[in-house]
C-alpha cells in the first residue's frame, strides 16, 4: 500500500521577478501527492470548496491519486497570495484566506486506515495528532510544520514530533523549534524530542539530514531558471516519501537516496509556476537528474594509508 | 616548488556572539599561507608595519612559511575591526585602517619568480596584474577579489579574471561581477570572461565549482561551534591550492579533492578566533575530517537499468 497525505489543497496567486499567476492549483497535499505519484500510489485527505473545478480533480486522478478523502464543503477553497523577490528563498505572504480549510477536521476513510506511509503536511498539530489516531500502524510517519504552529501550539507540536519518525522542516523552523541559532545544536535538541530522522530544508542550499549517528548533506540542483519556489518543500517531501514507499528500503542508504529523489522533484517543481512542470515528467527525466546529482557531488575518497606533508 | 601568495597581513579586532578579540593576527595572506603550509611550501609577499611583533613572524616561520617577501615598512600594520551577528555569513566592517598596506606595491623576490602555484589574494586588481608580470610562468594562478574592486575597478578586474586559471569568490561577488541574480547564469558569464574554473564560496552552505562542462557542489562541514568566520575564505583557498601544489593533480578529480581539503581547513579555522585552531592541527585530523566529508555526502547511484513506476 502506498502513501496517505493529509494537508491542504489551495488556489495560489504568486508573483516572482519572472512573472505572475492568479488562482492556480496549489496546496501542500497537492504538491506532495503529485510528486509522490511518480513513485507510488497516493491517497489524499484534504478539503476544497464548491468552487474547486473538475479539471483539477481530473488532473489529480490522472496521476492515480485517490481522492476519496478529498472533502468538498460549501464555501470557497483555501486561497494564498504571495510574492518573491530575487531572494527566492523567502516568500512574502500578502493574503491568506483559509475559507473551508479553517474548519478542516481530517476524517480518514476506512479504506485508508491501513496506510503504511503517512505524511502529515503543515496543518494544526492537534489535527496531525487526530490523524495519527485514525491510522492504525503506519511503517513510517513524516510531518512538516511552520513558524505559526511553533509559536502558537508548541506543546502539541512537540508531542507530534515525539510520535513521528521523520520531521521535515526548514532551517528557520529548526532554529525556532529548538531555540538555538546553531543548526547542529538545533538538530540535536530536536532529535532529543523523540524523532529519529530530522530533515532540514534550506531552499537553494539543499538539505541536511540528521540522525543520532550521522549527518547527510545534499545540495539543491543549481538551476538557470527558478521561476517559482512555491511548493518546493512539499514536492521534496513527496519525492522523498514516494521513493521510500516504492522501495521499502528504510536503511540510512535508502533514506539518503530518497532525499536525492526529493531534491530532484523539487528542482523540477521550481522551474515553472504551479504544478506545471510536475504534470508531464517522465521517469527517465527523473532518473537523469538523479544521476546529475550524483555526478555533481562525487569526489574521490582518500587512500587508506595516511598521507601528510 | 610550492606556492606564492600575495595579500595582506593584518591585525583584526573581531566581535561575534561568542566573544571578542583585539588586534589578533589576521589578513588574507596569513590565513592562506598557514592553511597551505599543511600541504606544501609557501612563500608570502605582503607588508607589515614596524609594530609587527616577532612572535607572529616566528609563528609563520615555524610553519615553514618563507617570509623573504614580507616587507617591513615604517608605520602601522593594516588593521580591521568587524562584527558578526548570529548570521555568521555576513561580516559588518566597523573600521578599516589600511596603514602601510595603502601604499603596498608587491615586489616579488627573484627567488620566488619561478613559483608554480600563485595565489592573488584580495588586493587591487592592478597590483594583481603587476604580480602576474613578475612571476614567469606559473602552472596555476588563482585569485580572489571583493565588492569594492568590482565596483571601482571593474575593467582591471575583468582583465585579471581573463588571465587567471581559477577565480575564488563568494556568491554575492559572483552576482555583482556578472550582473545576474541567478548564480548559474552568473557562473556562465564569468567563465566567458576567460577563467577556466570558478569557485563560489557560500559560507555555511559550502562551495560550488563551475567549469564549462561541469558543476561540483561541496557542503560546508556542519559545526556545533562556529566561533569566528574571519579568514574562512582565505583558509579555504590555502587548503585548496596547497593540496593542488602537493599532488600536482590538476584533473577535475584532483580539483574536486582540493575543494574538499579547502573546506576541511576552513571548517577548522572558524572553530576558534584568529589562527588559533590552525596553529596546531595534525595531518591526521585533516584526513579524518576529509573522510567525514566523504561520509556526509555519499549516496548510492542508481543501477544502470532504469526503474520507473
Task: Tell me what the pLDDT averaged over chain A comes to.
Answer: 95
Chain A environment of B248 (Cβ under 8 Å): none
* Unique residue bearing C-alpha cell 545576474: B180
ipTM for the predicted complex comes to: 0.94
Q: What is the pLDDT of residue B183?
A: 96
Residue B76 exposed, middle or buried by CB count within 10 Å (0-12, 13-18, 19+):
middle
Give yes or no for A55 touching B (CB within 8 A).
Answer: no
A167 contacts A194 by C-beta, under 8 angstroms = no
Instruction: Give pLDDT tens digits for A148-180.
Output: 999 999 999 999 999 999 999 999 999 999 999
Tell me the pTM: 0.96
Using alpha carbons, select from A293, A192, A215, A209 the residue that is nearest to residue A244. Answer: A209
Q: What is the pLDDT of residue A90?
A: 83
Chain A environment of B256 (Cβ under 8 Å): 298-300
The B residues from 95 to 114 touching A (CB cutoff 8 Å) are none
Q: What is the pLDDT of residue A18?
A: 87
Put simply, the answer to whether B260 touches A296 (Cβ < 8 Å) is: no
Q: What is the pLDDT of residue B18?
A: 87
**Which of A217, A263, A283, A304 has the highest number of chain B CBs within 10 A, making it the mutation to test binding with B?**
A217
Kindly report the nearest CA distance between residue B288 and chain A, in angstroms.
10
Q: How far apart are CA B293 and CA B219, in angstroms?
A: 8
Bridge-based pairing of strands A166-170 and A140-143 is parallel
Q: How far apart are CA B127 and CA B160, in angstroms?
A: 10
What CATH number should be reported for the domain whose range is B3-297?
Answer: 3.40.1190.20
C-alpha cell at B283: 595531518
Put simply, the answer to whether A298 touches B183 (Cβ < 8 Å) is: no
Q: Which residues pair with B82 in a beta bridge?
A: B14, B93
Segments making up each domain of chain A, as ranges: 3-297
Q: What is the pLDDT along chain B (309 residues), one digit of tens a residue?
A: 599 999 999 999 999 988 999 999 999 999 999 999 999 999 999 999 999 999 999 999 999 999 999 999 999 999 999 999 888 888 899 999 999 999 999 999 999 988 999 999 999 999 999 999 999 899 999 999 999 999 999 999 999 999 999 999 999 999 999 999 999 999 999 999 999 999 999 999 999 999 999 999 999 999 998 889 999 999 999 999 999 999 999 999 999 999 999 999 999 999 999 999 999 899 999 999 999 999 999 999 998 766 666
C-alpha cell at A16: 516572482
> A58-76 b/e with 16+ CB inside 10 Å = b?
ebbeebebbbebbbebebb
The B residues from 35 to 54 touching A (CB cutoff 8 Å) are 38-40
Amino acid at each position: 500500500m502506498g502513501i496517505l497525505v493529509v494537508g491542504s489543497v489551495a488556489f495560489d496567486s504568486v508573483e516572482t521577478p519572472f512573472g505572475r499567476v492568479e488562482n492556480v492549483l496549489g496546496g501542500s497535499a497537492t504538491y506532495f501527492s503529485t510528486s509522490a505519484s511518480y513513485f507510488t500510489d497516493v491517497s489524499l485527505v484534504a478539503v476544497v470548496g464548491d468552487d474547486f473545478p473538475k479539471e483539477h480533480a481530473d488532473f489529480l486522478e490522472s496521476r492515480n491519486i485517490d481522492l476519496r478523502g478529498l472533502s468538498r464543503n460549501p464555501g470557497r477553497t483555501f486561497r494564498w497570495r504571495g510574492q518573491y523577490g530575487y531572494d527566492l528563498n523567502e516568500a512574502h505572504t500578502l493574503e491568506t484566506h483559509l475559507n473551508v480549510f479553517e474548519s478542516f477536521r481530517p476524517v480518514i476513510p476506512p479504506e485508508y486506515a491501513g496506510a503504511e506511509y503517512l505524511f502529515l503536511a503543515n496543518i494544526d498539530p492537534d489535527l496531525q495528532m487526530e490523524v495519527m489516531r485514525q491510522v492504525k500502524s503506519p511503517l513510517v510517519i513524516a510531518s512538516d510544520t511552520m513558524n505559526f504552529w511553533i509559536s502558537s501550539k508548541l506543546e502539541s507540536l512537540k508531542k507530534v514530533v515525539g510520535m513521528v519518525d521523520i520531521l521535515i522542516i526548514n532551517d528557520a523552523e529548526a532554529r525556532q523549534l529548538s531555540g538555538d541559532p546553531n543548526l547542529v545544536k538545533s538538530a540535536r535538541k530536536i532529535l532529543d524530542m523523540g524523532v529519529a530522522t530530522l530533515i532540514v530544508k534550506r531552499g537553494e542550499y539543499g538539505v541536511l539530514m540528521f540522525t543520532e549517528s550521522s549527518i547527510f548533506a545534499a545540495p539543491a540542483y543549481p538551476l538557470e531558471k527558478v521561476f517559482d519556489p512555491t511548493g518546493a518543500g512539499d514536492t521534496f517531501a513527496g519525492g522523498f516519501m514516494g521513493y521510500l514507499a516504492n522501495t521499502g528500503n528504510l536503511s540510512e542508504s535508502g533514506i539518503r537516496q530518497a532525499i536525492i529523489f526529493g531534491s530532484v522533484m523539487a528542482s523540477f517543481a521550481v522551474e515553472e509556476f504551479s504544478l506545471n512542470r510536475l504534470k508531464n515528467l517522465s521517469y527517465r527525466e527523473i532518473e537523469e537528474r538523479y544521476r546529475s546529482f550524483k555526478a555533481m557531488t562525487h569526489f574521490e575518497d582518500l587512500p587508506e594509508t595516511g598521507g601528510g606533508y
